[in-house]
Amino acid sequence: MTKMMILTTPIVEGYTIKEYKGLVTAKNVRALNIIRDTMTSFRDFFGGRSGSYQEVMDSIQQEVIDEIIIEAEKVGANGIIGFRIDFENVGSKDKSLIMAFATGTAVVIEQK
């Protein structure tokens, strides 16, 4: 993987956007296991941080970033502007899923 600039802003100080390549997206949905859900229920009741959920979210976040970089490289971009990543809890009574969805605009960018 090459070095890809990933920015939440639409303008990059000291750089010129030479070409807009279009929207790039990446998504990841992961099932959570019953043990993790049970432990989180205890933490919800007593208070505290859920380290196991944070580990899952960190892993999903990195995978989504890696995937969006690949999508940008496919269209010949060396940067992504307007980057955003959202997490959603998707589930029902019996199953718990966590989803991450990332979007951005792939661009060709160069330093002034």
Work out the mean pLDDT of the chain and round it to a whole number.
84
Over residues 92-103, mean pLDDT:
82
Q: pLDDT tens-digit profile of 38-91?
A: 555 555 455 555 566 778 888 999 999 999 999 999 999 999 999 999 998 877
Which pLDDT belongs to residue 101? 96
Over residues 81-106, mean pLDDT:
87
pLDDT at 109 over 50: yes
Measured from the Cβ of residue 78, the count of other Cβ atoms closer than 10 Å reads: 18
102 pairs with which residues across the strands? Answer: 26, 85
- Domain 5-111 part of CATH 3.30.10.20: no
Measured from the Cβ of residue 69, the count of other Cβ atoms closer than 10 Å reads: 21
In the block, residue with structure tokens 């995978």: 63
Contact at 8 Å (CB) between 88 and 101?
yes
Q: Residue 42 — φ and ψ, nearest 5°? A: -65, -45
Which pLDDT belongs to residue 31? 79
Domain boundaries, the chain: 5-111
